[in-house]
Amino acid sequence: MRYYYDYNEFLSDLKKLVAMIDWEFDTIVPIARGGLSMAHLMGEHYDIRDVYAINTIGYEDDKKLEHTKLFNIPDLSHRKRVLIVDDISDTGDTLVLVTQELGERYPGVEFRTATIYYKESSLFKPDWYVREAKEWIDFFWTVDLKG
């Protein structure tokens, strides 16, 4: 079963998410591509210009790859508190990989995480999330612009 997640739900949920976050941070790191829309609007909301994307590839369409690839790691050496954002903590593999890698590279930086969706079976529970995923989510930003 698949669920189409539209822009209006996203906007409503993002407002709920920012109301939940009770932690001051100086930087936002979205996991591309799912966290990019979140980070853009959150950067505007918090008036934070330090938004640096990190890239991962863990899926090919809706098929989970054997290993998640991580690249484009930003330099966070002069940051203090970083919020990592993504659309969903599905298996949790991506957030585990990103938080471990960033934590090892930047031990003096404090990291927290926020997602729109969290799946109960995930290996990683974000610090903040809005919804529990019960099915496959088709996010509005995954629409095909060719047709």
**pLDDT on residue 41:** 97
In the prediction, which pLDDT does 145 show? Answer: 67
Closest CA to 76 of 99, 57, 59, 58: 99
Which of 120, 108, 48 has its CA nearest to residue 83? 48
Q: In this predicted model, what pLDDT tens digit does every residue of 19-70 receive, in sequence order?
A: 999 999 999 999 998 999 999 999 999 999 999 999 988 767 667 767 778 8
Q: Hey, what domains does the chain have and what are their CATH numbers?
A: 2-142 (3.40.50.2020)
- Helices 36-46/7-20 angle, 10° precision: 50
Which residue is listed with tokens 């640096």? 52
Greatest pairwise CA separation for the chain in angstroms:
47
Spell out the residues 6+ positions from residue 1 whose beta carbon is closer than 8 angstroms to its own: 135, 136
pLDDT digits (tens, 9 = 90+) for 92-138: 999 999 999 999 999 999 999 999 999 999 999 999 999 999 999 99
Residue pair 18/45 in contact by the 8 Å Cβ criterion = yes
Which pLDDT does position 69 carry in this prediction? 80
Residue 147 has pLDDT above 90, yes or no: no
